[in-house]
Amino acid sequence: MIELTRGARELELEARTARFIREVVIPYESDPRIDHHGPSDDLRREMQSRAREAGLLAPQLEARWGGHDLNHRETATVLRACGYSMLGPVAMNCMAPDEGNMHLFQKVMNPAQQERWLRPLAAGEIRSAFMMTEPDDGAGSDPGMMTTTAQLVGDEWVINGRKWLITGADGAGLAIIMAKTSGGATLFLTDMDTPGIVIERTLGTIDRSMPGGHAVVSLNEVRVPASQVLGEVDQGFRYAQIRLAPARLTHCMRWWGSAQRAHHIATDYACRRRAFGKQLIDHEGVGFMLADNEIDLKQAELTIDWCAWVLDQGHPGTAESSIAKVSVSEALYRVADRCVQVLGGMGVTEETPVQQIFRDIRAFRIYDGPSEVHRWSIAKRLKKEWRPG
């Protein structure tokens, strides 16, 4: 039976995180070092320095990497509080893709690789990129369509291909490259300044909360030593699942916090603003939208905690994370959309963060698997498990 009681340490970390976000991070939201491709690395390092001082840098990690040894349920509590500002995950070094990459590295990297790459990543000294998605007819929702290849030549792998929508590639120090090998797919680790890795351009997108934006990257005869294979050769798809299921859920956690922020702003506005002789919240058209927000936020919170509990039992959580990804991303989008509507003209201006929360949460319904692909996966499982009565 799932346990909803939260321990003293968990509640203390939640309160400390909420205070840090409110007092330290939110004032940075008007910083000019934030552009359409997210906060600059200079701003990221400055905020992460303050998180380190507060004992809140990468709290989700194991203690040996500077974290608090949180399980998935505890991580949900802290990351929801962290997500109250879209800069929060950046400040606390638990943003995508680094958080998901660090989770994978703790489980799959060998000790030498961990010292070379995980330790500086956990400390915020470098950023990372996960290169799987491809343009045109390459890998997207179907990784099996991957066209990037890796061939073993002597004691080096030679990688050729093209990736796109690679979050954080511009400015990253480390790349994880997924490429086809003779028996499946393999994950390779390499520094971003390795010859042959070329950032063609950074795409213009509707979101702007992730440092480095989302890039198109060419891989031209990129040579990677055999010692820099992550895990085992041909096991890349399996390792990707180790990363993707928890990463889908941590996205849900962070964006829940942002949706709650939008809801608080809209509720405050509806209680202060008057129209047609009474407060906006007293008009059913507005009050009911805010009530629906409360319902969606609570259901999303419970879905996140349920999936986190499943992961904490040692299950891979593949089906559960698909359910959570669809239901939470769509619920939070509804919340953000209603908040824009409640704010009226104010909702489409930059006077509040609501319009940007709306834009970023809209993108969440696509990355880490669009809702349609997750529904298709759930339906396939239902068919497989069906037995005629």
The CATH number linked to 258 is 1.20.140.10
Domain span including residue 17: 8-95
Are 136 and 44 contained in the same domain? no
Residue 301 within any structural domain of the chain = yes
CATH of the domain at 37: 1.10.540.10
Distance between CA 370 and CA 61 in Å, rounded? 27
Which of 182, 211, 234 finishes a domain? 234
Q: What is the mean pLDDT of each run of 10 residues along the chain (389 residues)?
A: 86 98 97 92 97 97 97 97 98 96 96 97 97 87 89 97 96 97 96 98 92 96 98 93 89 97 98 95 97 98 96 93 97 98 97 97 93 95 90
Residue 1 within any structural domain of the chain = no
Are 144 and 74 contained in the same domain? no
Cβ–Cβ under 8 Å, residues 364 and 135: no
Distance between CA 81 and CA 250 in Å, rounded? 12
Are 230 and 241 contained in the same domain? no
The pLDDT of residue 36: 86
Q: Which amino acid is at 295?
A: I
Are 241 and 219 contained in the same domain? no
Are 230 and 261 contained in the same domain? no
For residue 97, cis peptide bond before it (omega within 30 degrees of 0): yes
Are 313 and 356 contained in the same domain? yes
Q: What is the DSSP letter of 347?
A: G
The pLDDT of residue 108: 96
pTM above 0.85, yes or no: yes
Q: Which amino acid is at 359?
A: R
Are 85 and 187 contained in the same domain? no
Distance between CA 382 and CA 324 in Å, rounded? 16
The pLDDT of residue 244: 84
Are 250 and 222 contained in the same domain? no
Are 222 and 359 contained in the same domain? no
The pLDDT of residue 231: 96
Residue 226 within any structural domain of the chain = yes
> How big is the CA angle at 19 (ends 16 and 22), to the nearest 5 degrees?
150
Distance between CA 148 and CA 75 in Å, rounded? 34
Q: How many domains does the chain have?
A: 3
| Torsion angle, alpha carbons of 119, 120, 123, 124, to 10 | -150
Residue 108 within any structural domain of the chain = no
Cβ–Cβ under 8 Å, residues 238 and 67: no
Residue 100 within any structural domain of the chain = no
Residue 332 within any structural domain of the chain = yes
Looking only at the bridges linking them, the beta strands covering 184-191 and 156-167 are unpaired
Residue 105 within any structural domain of the chain = no
Helices marked H in the chain — which ranges? 8-20, 41-53, 72-82, 88-91, 98-108, 111-113, 119-122, 236-272, 284-312, 318-343, 354-364, 371-385
Are 282 and 207 contained in the same domain? no
The pLDDT of residue 242: 86
Are 227 and 329 contained in the same domain? no
Looking only at the bridges linking them, the beta strands covering 174-181 and 128-131 are parallel
The pLDDT of residue 199: 98
Q: Is the dihedral of CA 370, 371, 376, 382 positive or negative?
A: positive
Residue 51 within any structural domain of the chain = yes
Are 242 and 378 contained in the same domain? yes
